[in-house]
Structure 1
Amino acid sequence: MATTGVVIFICVCTAVLSAQLRKYLGADNTANGVSSINGKEEIFYSERLNKLEESKEYNQQLKYNAKPPNVVLFLVDDLGYGDLSSFGHPTSRSPAIDRLAAQSKVFTQFYVTSPVCSPSRASLLTGRYQVRSGIYPGVLEPDNPLAHNTTIVEQPTPLSSLASKLLARATQFLEVSALEHAPFFLYMPFMHVHTPHFSSAEFVGKSARGTFGDALLELDHSIDTILQTLDALDLADNTVVWFLSDNGPDLMHRQQGGCAGALRCGKGTSWEGGVRVPAFVRWPGHIVPGRTDELLSSLEVLPTIAALTGADTSGLKLDGFDASDFLLDKISKSPREYFAVYPKDPSPETGPYAVVYQRLKAHFFTAGNGLSDDQNYDEMCTSRHPLTEHNPPLLYDLSVDPGERWNIANDTSQRSSLMKLTAWRTQHMADMTWMTSATQDHEERSQPCCTDRRCNPFPSCCDCPDK
């Protein structure tokens, strides 16, 4: 998200940073056997530290001034609306995430643009519905590369050590950014809690929720470490921390899958369980903690962060709204009134399957999906429920029926709302630009290989364990 790169940073004490980085560089700095910084980087960062400490301008830059915030964006994979204890799960344990939620503005009606990952993430990072970027239908299928910039670190990647490697890089990035009193945007898209579930030895067997709960505990530990690093570097008060999931829970794995709570169905569907996710944002001293039922979506993340940091988005075509005034309590209502819910495999012919209007949701098309479990007691969630058009659309009042059980389309008092929903969807479809699909043009030879693309059989021959 290049538009956040203009964030201004509040500097912290030279002595604190120097001592911390000296200690950091002098330590073994291994997490589960993984080095977080190599020899060349150590020399590089030490030289930068020396130059900063010798600079006559350094202390002058340490004066505190009210400036735009830095940004940390946590994106969790397949975390359902009911998977956190702070959202009602009885056996989940994620104390750091729960504590972050308690310090945040929590959105109880927050949507992502797709019930699967790649299109949802494309929308988050562009502020545009995924069809404008060509990230449809389905998802991109990378084949196990772990890369740092243009260098492949290891291939294949052992999942048990993945979280610790990403965490080491993240904390290193924060410390160096603080050292250079540089603006930063940290995007942390976790693989937790997607299947296959994994966790390092420290967390295996430690949860009442089995392998899902173990993965959640490691996710919580990673987030806690990053938040503690912000505290230690005196950055927390000037950093916006935004937390959300990329789509609803994987119900296909049943007891070891996620939980949608009171919502209907899950991943792969346009029902609430597929696209309504846990989300909250913290900025101490600026965003008042609490819960809000106002409608908001992942499309708002980019324009809102841009507004908070002073980035210019005037040259971008955005579907998201700047919600900064709403977050800062300058206005009481969200700028979003309508939201289009696209399916896993959208097409220009069907368009969005559903539309949310404030607390109402109309389904113009429905279809089940195996990711919501073909043994689901709710037939509408399963792949046995084919693509079905509804005329009039199914209509639900989400304020009293988040599980979408009682269709009120035949209620005469809702006639005006149905007309508004239908008219908005028609205009939305007319205004939408569909870029050529990029997810189906999958060429095996386009995959990165740390060995040689001529090796055989490709790509399984690309074997370069971490050195």
Structure 2
Amino acid sequence: MEFVIVGFSLLALCQAAALPNFVLLFTDDLGYGDLGFSGHPSSLTPNLDWLAAHGLRFTDFYSTSPVCSPSRASLLTGRYQTRSGIYPGVLYPGSIGGLPLNETTIAEVLKPLGYATAMMGKWHLGYGANGTYLPTRQGFDHYLGIPYSHDMGPCRNLTCFPPDVKCFGICDVGTVTVPLMKEETITQQPVDFIDLEDAYSHFATEFIRNATQKHQPFFLYYPSHHTHYPQYAGWKSVGRSLRGPFGDALLEFDSTVGNILKTLKETRVLDNTLVFFTSDNGPELMRMSRGGNAGMLKCGKGTTYEGGMREPAIAYWSGVIKPGVTHSLSSTLDILPTFARLAGAPLPKVQLDGVDMVDILFNHGTGQRKAMFYYPVDPSEKYGVFAVRMGKYKAHYYTRGSAQSDTTPDKDCGLFTPLTYHDPPLLFDLESDPSENYRLNVKARPELVSVLQNIKDLKDGFEASMQFGESEIRKGTDPKLAPCCNPECSPKPQCCRCGTTL
């Protein structure tokens, strides 16, 4: 019990002395097996490896969706994407909808306490008419980034790796080139990928320095474009990894992490800052070696198998969080309640799906999360959740493959694997079989009957509480809403060009 007392006294001491700072690092399409500390033999991630060695590493951490926009909505609101309407699929440059403004983000939870808030990187929660859904409308004081995924624009003629290596593939066509925004203004279109990460690194440094000079607590959210396709990297990272373009992109993200840590140390706030790292969904296996690696986990992006939604995660707080490994069940949903509790901020007066992780972080305890519910890319009230994890057990009620996990030898993962209902559900022990290879035989083990019943009870209770919000994505798209730095120009989208340097 001694560490319990020490942990909570440290928490009280930190709150009494100064409000803690928060840095939230969020990669894109990164697999469970992609990092150096998770065993990849050729990934070069020295700063993430350092965080893992000196922080608390999660082995059973989940996003809420196997694709981008919905997983980001749940991260920032602590609510399943079905409640906020960020389904099915993802938002596009001309999407009419976005994360509803009545949803409360982490930034909006912290701002009333005097926090400076900033975001750099990939938003992907809507642009809308006149920038209705931009981060600056959702609690962030400052924003530098791309408002959606950086493959949502023509990329054939853009340079991804210096000096002149063009981006791999064609990305989307028929829409505007990818813009870079500062606050609500487009500063460059198309974005210069070569210098983009340097701009992010400089933005983070300036934000942290300005906040600390003002003695102001801060929240920095960095949802990176790395390692989503098409991969890119600047001069400092290109060719340095043994893993090729994917490895160079991952190294560039890792280098920005290192710069953030260096800045926190130089400004003497490292001891009062919680740094949390995780990813939005699993690897896009259809890209093969350019798409990431799920390690021992089954399938990847687009599926509700473990490879699609189970993510690497690290919590680091120098001198406060004891280094180690936790097997406690946790989720991106839990980040908002955790930050709120540590800052002493009231929770939004809505139904949250997240629970705070303080017991896990400070005591290496089991935490409050009882279950994880797996929604597919296109959730519906008709089918409900596809799978449920309770403790070490996972039950699949529906399974389906995905184009984004195609090309793998596993027939369960691919595009042509149809939606299949399972009655009784497929049951797996994820502690002994994280790869979901060996279905448990309930008939041969009668004690599992009660396990399935308990899982069903959790599922029924959760689904009874779920109120699906109006789908923001089904509101459709309007090409006129796609961001253009010269809105009156013609012909579009070709004329939407501006800026030459970051």
TM-score, normalised via structure 1 length: 0.84
Aligned-partner residue type, residue 446 of structure 1: L
Of 68, 78, 90, the match for 1:117 = 68
Of 330, 340, 355, the match for 1:321 = 355
Answer whether contact 1:364 1:389 (CA < 8 A) is retained.
yes
Question: How many aligned residue pairs are there?
Answer: 401
Aligned-partner residue type, residue 34 of structure 2: D
Residue in 2 that maps onto 1:408: 440
Aligned-partner residue type, residue 444 of structure 1: P
SS in 2 for 1:294: coil
Answer whether contact 2:329 2:367 (CA < 8 A) is retained.
yes
Q: Structure 2 CA distance, aligned partners of 1:135 and 1:342?
A: 12
Q: Structure 2 CA distance, aligned partners of 1:65 and 1:306?
A: 15
Q: How does 1:45-124 map to 2 (within 5 A)?
A: 66-124=17-75
Q: Structure 1 CA distance, aligned partners of 2:218 and 2:239?
A: 36
Of 80, 84, 92, the match for 1:129 = 80
Query: Do structure 1's residue 336 and structure 2's residue 287 form an aligned pair?
Result: no
Query: Do structure 1's residue 427 and structure 2's residue 461 form an aligned pair?
Result: yes
Q: Structure 2 CA distance, aligned partners of 1:129 and 1:180?
A: 36
Q: Structure 2 CA distance, aligned partners of 1:348 and 1:212?
A: 37
Q: What stretches of structure 2 of length at least 5 have no aligned partner?
A: 1-14, 94-151, 153-177
Of 444, 448, 456, the match for 2:483 = 448
Superposed displacement of residue 91, structure 1: 1.1
Of 351, 363, 377, the match for 2:396 = 363
Superposed displacement of residue 173, structure 1: 0.4
Answer whether contact 1:94 1:217 (CA < 8 A) is retained.
yes
- Residues 127-151 of structure 1: per-residue CA shift (max 9 Å, x gap): 0000111111111123522111121
- Residues 320-368 of structure 1: per-residue CA shift (max 9 Å, x gap): 0012132111x72110011101111111111111000011000000000
Q: Structure 2 CA distance, aligned partners of 1:355 and 1:403?
A: 16
SS in 1 for 2:489: coil
SS in 1 for 2:278: strand
Q: What stretches of structure 1 of length at least 5 have no aligned partner?
A: 1-63
Q: Structure 2 CA distance, aligned partners of 1:165 and 1:437?
A: 34
Bigger mean CA offset, 454-463 vs 272-281: 454-463
Superposed displacement of residue 316, structure 1: 3.2
Q: Structure 2 CA distance, aligned partners of 1:208 and 1:302?
A: 37
Q: How does 1:27-38 map to 2 (within 5 A)?
A: none
Superposed displacement of residue 459, structure 1: 2.9
SS in 2 for 1:328: helix
Of 159, 162, 167, the match for 2:196 = 162
Residue in 1 that maps onto 2:492: 458
Q: Structure 2 CA distance, aligned partners of 1:161 and 1:389?
A: 48
Residue in 1 that maps onto 2:216: 182
Query: Do structure 1's residue 234 and structure 2's residue 233 form an aligned pair?
Result: no
Aligned-partner residue type, residue 285 of structure 2: L
Answer whether contact 1:359 1:397 (CA < 8 A) is retained.
yes
Answer whether contact 1:97 1:223 (CA < 8 A) is retained.
yes
Bigger relative contact order, structure 1 or 2, given CA contacts below 8 A and separation 6+? 2
Q: Structure 2 CA distance, aligned partners of 1:422 and 1:227?
A: 44
Answer whether contact 1:393 1:409 (CA < 8 A) is retained.
no
Residue in 2 that maps onto 1:386: 418
Answer whether contact 1:114 1:275 (CA < 8 A) is retained.
yes
Superposed displacement of residue 413, structure 1: 2.1
Q: Structure 1 CA distance, aligned partners of 2:441 and 2:498?
A: 58
Answer whether contact 2:358 2:367 (CA < 8 A) is retained.
no
Answer whether contact 1:209 1:256 (CA < 8 A) is retained.
no
Bigger mean CA offset, 441-450 vs 124-133: 441-450
Superposed displacement of residue 158, structure 1: 2.0
Aligned-partner residue type, residue 369 of structure 1: S
Residue in 1 that maps onto 2:119: none
Aligned-partner residue type, residue 193 of structure 1: T
TM-score, normalised via structure 2 length: 0.78
Q: Structure 1 CA distance, aligned partners of 2:57 and 2:227?
A: 21
Q: Structure 2 CA distance, aligned partners of 1:294 and 1:422?
A: 21
Q: Structure 2 CA distance, aligned partners of 1:370 and 1:179?
A: 49
SS in 2 for 1:448: coil
- Residues 125-180 of structure 1: per-residue CA shift (max 9 Å, x gap): 00000011111111112352211112111111122222111111111101111111
Q: Structure 2 CA distance, aligned partners of 1:372 and 1:387?
A: 15
Residue in 2 that maps onto 1:266: 300
Of 351, 355, 358, the match for 2:384 = 351
Q: Structure 2 CA distance, aligned partners of 1:431 and 1:74?
A: 30
Aligned-partner residue type, residue 394 of structure 2: K
Q: Structure 1 CA distance, aligned partners of 2:478 and 2:470?
A: 16
SS in 2 for 1:255: helix
Answer whether contact 1:394 1:409 (CA < 8 A) is retained.
no
Identity %: 46
Superposed displacement of residue 314, structure 1: 5.0
Answer whether contact 1:127 1:300 (CA < 8 A) is retained.
yes
Answer whether contact 1:115 1:247 (CA < 8 A) is retained.
yes
Of 203, 206, 227, the match for 1:193 = 227
- Residues 198-245 of structure 1: per-residue CA shift (max 9 Å, x gap): 000222121111100000111111100010000000010000000001
Q: Structure 2 CA distance, aligned partners of 1:436 and 1:146?
A: 29
Q: Structure 2 CA distance, aligned partners of 1:160 and 1:353?
A: 40
Q: Structure 1 CA distance, aligned partners of 2:348 and 2:399?
A: 36
Q: Aligned-pair RMSD on alpha carbons?
A: 1.4
Residue in 1 that maps onto 2:175: none
Q: Structure 2 CA distance, aligned partners of 1:85 and 1:407?
A: 30
SS in 2 for 1:68: coil
